[in-house]
Amino acid sequence: MKKYLMLLLAALLVLSVGALVGCDDSGPTVVETPPETTEVEEIIEEEPDFTNLPVGTVVDLDGLQVAVTEVKAGPESWGGNPTTEVVVTFTNESDTTSSFNPWDWQVENTSGVRSNDALTDADSLNSGDLAPGGSVTGSMFFEVSLDEAASVVFTPDFWGGDDSLIFWTVGE
């Protein structure tokens, strides 16, 4: 029994070390801001704030550029509630394949409740791998009205916790 316990501990150690390989401490950076910004901004030396980004802001995650490019009223949900269509774009400027997934996105209302998309259609974002130089755009429909203050939340790193979350403002 002791032998099996030691093997289990060794396997957990190998998996833990393997999960850390390839981790990079550089973190996300803002690449560009929406078109209404006309001034050239200085390079930000401090940690940028990813909690209130306007639609159109591109965030660079070690070569994977992510943006909420459009927000508009969507169709009613199956329950008859209003939805908001959020269009996102991934562009892979890195040298390696990157994955994308609609489950990395949620909407957060003013009460702090986060939920996943409510509907899918032909333009919905699917999951997949994005080759270097590739780009993909897709929609997600969240059960929240454009009249409500809300944020779309992107989780770039499942293991990163709340510190790795990126928020775009999509409602009033």
Render pLDDT for 101-141 as a digit per residue (tens, 0 to 9): 999 999 998 888 999 877 777 788 999 999 999 999 999 99
**Residue 79 is encoded by which pair of tokens?**
């329950």
- On whether residue 7 sits in a domain, the answer given is no
- On whether residue 158 sits in a domain, the answer given is yes
- On whether residue 22 sits in a domain, the answer given is no
- On whether residue 15 sits in a domain, the answer given is no
The average confidence (pLDDT) of the chain is 78
- On whether residue 6 sits in a domain, the answer given is no
Confidence category of residue 22, pLDDT binned at 50, 70, 90? very low
What gap in Å lies between CA 48 and CA 51, rounded to an integer? 9
Write out the residue range of the structural domain in which residue 61 sits: 28-37+47-169
Q: Regarding predicted confidence, which is higher, 97 or 75?
A: 97
pLDDT at 148 over 60: yes
Q: Regarding predicted confidence, which is higher, 148 or 87?
A: 87
Structurally, the chain folds into a number of domains equal to 1
Average pLDDT over residues 69-78: 89
- On whether residue 4 sits in a domain, the answer given is no
Confidence category of residue 10, pLDDT binned at 50, 70, 90? low
Helical H segments across the chain, by residue range: 2-20
Q: In terms of C-beta density within 10 A (0-12 exposed, 13-18 middle, 19 or more buried), how is residue 59 classed?
A: buried
- The pLDDT of residue 31 is 64
pTM, two decimal places: 0.71
Question: What does the H/E/C string look like for 19-59?
Answer: HHCCCCCCCCEEEECCCCCCCCCCCCCCCCCCCCECCCCEE
Average pLDDT over residues 3-11: 49
- On whether residue 23 sits in a domain, the answer given is no
**Domain harbouring 86, CATH code:** 2.60.40.1240
- The pLDDT of residue 45 is 47
